[in-house]
């Protein structure tokens, strides 16, 4: 029985744990060969070892470094062939009031969440073009659709990802490369584990719970598969109805 991503070669950033790990596991289960890009070396190596060398490879990747991206794509091509899928999932959040937010902390979030997405799309383009096409999935957030207080840098970065996705979709379409953004709501991951504010918001939305990482991974799987062949430059929201309110 064939999988939905058989023959795909996918790079997943921030793939060592949390939401990224869910993407990796789902894609491998459906037949993709996946490169796990992360700065969490022990976790990434352990996940790749568990999934096996035929299906997964760990590459240490600082998404804010263009040189690191070039090296990661080269490793991917050497191990599995041309890149046909990219999940720009790596991200971080810094919670504080605007008056307490330092320039350094603001830039740290932007470097990963926004610059990392730009560099990732740029880095995989030649490989996808050589392969005859591909699919890019940029993980934004409901914070890229609505705004929340006390996470200014995160909100700015996720709005940027939404816009970058649309611009890239237009540029990449002639090469048969689709680019879409996924906007998760509150997901049960290490990023939200200690946030009572997040838990409370989840209890107030139409589906009164946090998402499980696998529920977001199912959307990513769809967008990387050929089932989504006519979707590009679009937002796909997985938020339990939060933004419907």
Residue of 154, 175, 222, 230 with catalytic role? 154
Q: Which residues contact 149 (CB under 8 A, 6 or more apart)?
A: 97
Q: Which alpha helices (DSSP H) does the chain contain, by range?
A: 18-29, 41-51, 66-80, 103-110, 116-131, 152-172, 196-204, 213-224
Asked if 154 is an active-site residue, the reply is yes
- CA dist 35 → 82, 146, 195, 244 (Å): 12, 32, 30, 35
3-state secondary structure at position 185:
coil
According to DSSP, the β-strands at 56-60 and 235-238 are unpaired
Locate tokens 């609505």: which residue? Answer: 146
Please give the Cα distance from 198 to 87 (Å, whole number).
Answer: 24
Q: Which residues contact 93 (CB under 8 A, 6 or more apart)?
A: 109, 151, 154, 191
3-state secondary structure at position 181:
strand
Residue positions annotated with a catalytic role = 154
């Amino acid at each position: 029985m064939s999988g939905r991503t058989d023959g795909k070669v996918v790079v997943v950033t921030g793939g060592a744990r949390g939401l990224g790990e869910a993407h990796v596991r789902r894609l491998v289960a459906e037949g993709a060969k996946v490169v796990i890009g992360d700065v969490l070396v022990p976790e990434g190596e352990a996940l790749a070892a568990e999934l096996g060398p035929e299906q997964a490879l760990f590459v240490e990747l600082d998404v804010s470094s263009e040189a690191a991206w070039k090296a990661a794509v080269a490793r991917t091509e050497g191990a599995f062939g041309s890149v046909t899928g990219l999940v720009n999932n790596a991200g971080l959040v810094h919670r504080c009031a605007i008056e307490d937010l330092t320039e350094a902390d603001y830039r740290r979030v932007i470097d990963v969440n926004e610059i990392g997405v730009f560099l990732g799309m740029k880095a995989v383009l030649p490989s996808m073009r050589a392969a005859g096409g591909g699919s890019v999935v940029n993980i934004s957030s409901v914070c890229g659709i609505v705004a929340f207080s006390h996470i200014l840098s995160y909100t700015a970065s996720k709005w940027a990802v939404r816009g970058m996705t649309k611009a890239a979709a237009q540029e990449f379409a002639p090469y048969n490369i689709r680019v879409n953004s996924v906007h998760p709501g509150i997901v049960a991951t290490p990023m939200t584990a200690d946030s009572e504010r997040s838990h409370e918001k989840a209890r107030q939305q139409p589906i009164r719970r946090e998402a499980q990482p696998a529920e977001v991974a199912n959307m990513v799987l769809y967008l990387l598969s050929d089932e989504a062949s006519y979707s590009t430059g679009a937002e796909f929201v997985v938020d339990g109805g939060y933004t419907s309110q």
